[in-house]
């Protein structure tokens, strides 16, 4: 899409399922992202 954020690294520390969508948008703009999940944490679905 765009390389506006080329060279930027984003680390996601969210545990809710709808929050990681921000990382997807930033990747679309050229950022590199990685997600960190807490071991044993429950996954919550948005209702």
**pLDDT values of the chain reduced to their tens digit, one per residue, 47 residues:** 578 889 999 888 776 666 667 788 888 999 998 877 766 655 554 44
Any domain includes 47 = no
Confidence (pLDDT) at 17: 62
Any domain includes 23 = yes
Any domain includes 46 = no
- Would the pTM of this model clear 0.85, i.e. be above it? no
Contact 4, 29 (CB under 8 A): yes
Range of the domain at 21: 1-38
Confidence (pLDDT) at 47: 43
Any domain includes 43 = no
How many other CB atoms are there within 10 angstroms of residue 15's CB atom?
14
Any domain includes 24 = yes
Any domain includes 28 = yes
Counted domains in the chain: 1
Any domain includes 10 = yes
Rounded Cα gap, residues 14 and 20, in angstroms: 7
The token pair at 6 is 């080329």
């Amino acid at each position: 899409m765009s390389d506006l954020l080329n060279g930027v690294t984003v680390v996601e520390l969210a545990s809710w399922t709808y929050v990681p969508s921000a990382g997807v948008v930033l990747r679309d703009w050229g950022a590199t992202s990685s997600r960190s999940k807490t071991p044993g944490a429950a996954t919550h679905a948005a209702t």
